[in-house]
Structure 1
Amino acid sequence: MSASGLASTPRPAAPAAGPARVMLVDDSSVSRALMTRWIEENGAGQVVATAANGRAAVEALAVHRVEVVVLDIEMPEVDGLTALPRLLAAQPGLQVLMASTLSQHGASVTLQALRLGAADAIGKPRAGWALGTGNDFRTELAAKVRALGAVARRRPGAPAPEVPTLPPGTPEPTLNRAAPSTQRPRAIVIGASTGGPNALFRLVELLPRDVDVPIFVTQHMPPTFTTILADHLARHGRRPAHEAEDGMPAQPGHVYIAPGGRHLSLAGSPDHVRLIVSDEEPENFCRPSVNPLMRSAARLYGDGALGIMLTGMGSDGLEGARELVRAGGTLVAQDQTSSVVWGMPGSVVRAGLAAEVLPLDDIAAFIGQKLKAAR
């Protein structure tokens, strides 16, 4: 190992094909070794460099062509939050995945990192994962590296990649649009995953101040992270935001976030909504999943439900969105160009469920128009 902390040798640049080129930045050599194996064993990425701290990581970018960095937060000399802007400045377009412990401090720093330009985050289990008990982390790490590798190879201004993509040679399906409801929305339900926190910050900041219906959100995040996400949304969106609690009554104009690791659904009547937080089985390998929220909104609000599908990989929320539209509700999907990954919104567009496909900055205006026009 060199004095800079690098544990790799220079490799020639490779064409933009095959696995993503990855750098791991973590002060634990055991963690680096395990993550290297997990990333490479199924072809998600090729680890071309490792570093023991942020300073060494910045130096490595002068030697290695890297597309995705998995960046730990707590490291000696230069920590992850300090290194992040230096890495992004050294290589524009670099995709950084923050790897954080599942603690309140780790979650708070991770949300700051997302605001500073990190693409996504993953929570490292507190204990046991290095002994082989972190299978969820292992699977999620590979999936996120693969997705962010596709993002890194996207040309500036090009549409977001879809996850999963269509097999080669598959013709593009005809994209139909669902009819929007003519009723005034009585609730807004939002699903998001990769790239979702920053999209949520932007959306909530742009929403009209007089939104008088509850806003429910399922964002794929680990426990603890969603508590901090709600705090950040409250500060930046200038409206009350909460991590959902079981039995909590919904109030107009408030934002409710599904807790990490638990599903959120709605019960009661449109005028007296009660939040249900549960530990039921994951759907689409996700808990929380967007499906329970959208299904329950369809039952409770019918044509008064306004669903928003934001950036995210995979297709979680597709079945719930189908029920929401079948009940007469309106579904809006974030467009491909403004999404980090066009998996979740792309899946509902392909299914013909979206009444509108809009850039992120236009979604808030659409919500305001729907609320104003039907007053």
Structure 2
Amino acid sequence: MTKVSYLGKFPIVGIGASAGGIPAMEGFFRGLPARPHMAFVIVTHLNPARQSLLDEVVSRYTEMPVLVAADGMPTEPDHVYVMPANAILTIKEGRLQIRRPDAANRERKPIDIFLGALAEDQDEHAVGVILSGGDGDGTLGAKAIKERGGLTLAQVSDGSGPRNPDMPQSAISSGMIDLALPADRMGERLSRSADQCH
């Protein structure tokens, strides 16, 4: 049996989260099937001076392997990749690309940067998910994904959040969001969309 090249043949889901994002991610990953046949890349607003334990936290909510993204790492289905601290994450030809932020010109929109790169790289295979967060990061990235035929989701209020609604609300207000759902209902809808694409 020949090994199928995965690059570009399955959805790659960029997940943007900031303040209050942990409960949102718990709901999101607990709502997914064990093998959703998608790759997931988590991009957050991290303090560059602090080591992130996000990979360990997310691994409690899913049976999929959770890896800290490394430069040149290929994305594979049924894997979760977490942006490392003090990094700008992009993607090219299905491989994660990492560069260090320019201290003189500190980029403040890491979610827009990744989702924009994902849209350009994956076209209709790109999925953008905007979870809890405190500013407008992710809105331009969602627009880029929508314009290239991908799918966009943003978190709306239910009992578990979003704790900080500004980020998903900004995306929803842009008119570029396909599905506005509570985080724990996103997985089921994503799985249904992926099944329809097979």
1:229 aligns with 2:54: yes
CA distance in 2, matches of 1:263, 1:205: 27
Give the conservation status (yes or no) of the 8 Å contact 2:30–2:184. no
Give the aligned partner of residue 6 of structure 2.
none
Summarize deviations over 1:125-178 as a string: whole Å, max 9, x none.
xxxxxxxxxxxxxxxxxxxxxxxxxxxxxxxxxxxxxxxxxxxxxxxxxxxxxx
CA distance in 1, matches of 2:26, 2:137: 21
Summarize deviations over 1:95-149 as a string: whole Å, max 9, x none.
xxxxxxxxxxxxxxxxxxxxxxxxxxxxxxxxxxxxxxxxxxxxxxxxxxxxxxx
Give the aligned partner of residue 204 of structure 1.
29
**Matching residue's letter, 1:359:** P
CA distance in 1, matches of 2:74, 2:185: 30
CA distance in 1, matches of 2:111, 2:82: 11
Alignment of 1:105-124 (within 5 A): none
Q: Which has the larger radius of gyration?
A: 1
Summarize deviations over 1:337-357 as a string: whole Å, max 9, x none.
431111111111111010111
Q: 1:185 offset after TM fit, Å?
A: 5.6
Give the aligned partner of residue 77 of structure 2.
252
Give the aligned partner of residue 215 of structure 1.
40
Please, which of 188, 191, 194 is the counterpart of residue 365 of structure 1?
188
| Pairs aligned (count) | 184
Q: Unaligned stretches of 5+ in structure 2?
A: 1-8
CA distance in 2, matches of 1:359, 1:198: 11
Give the conservation status (yes or no) of the 8 Å contact 1:205–1:238. no
- Higher RCO (C-alpha 8 Å, min separation 6): 2
Give the conservation status (yes or no) of the 8 Å contact 1:231–1:242. no
Q: 1:372 offset after TM fit, Å?
A: 2.0
Q: 1:192–1:365: structure 2 CA closer, same or farther, 3 Å change rule?
A: same
CA distance in 1, matches of 2:27, 2:186: 10
Give the aligned partner of residue 142 of structure 2.
321
Please, which of 100, 108, 131 is the counterpart of residue 279 of structure 1?
100
Secondary structure at 1:368 match in 2 = helix
Please, which of 159, 172, 181 is the counterpart of residue 349 of structure 1?
172
Q: Unaligned stretches of 5+ in structure 1?
A: 1-183
**Matching residue's letter, 2:32:** L
Q: 1:219–1:245: structure 2 CA closer, same or farther, 3 Å change rule?
A: same
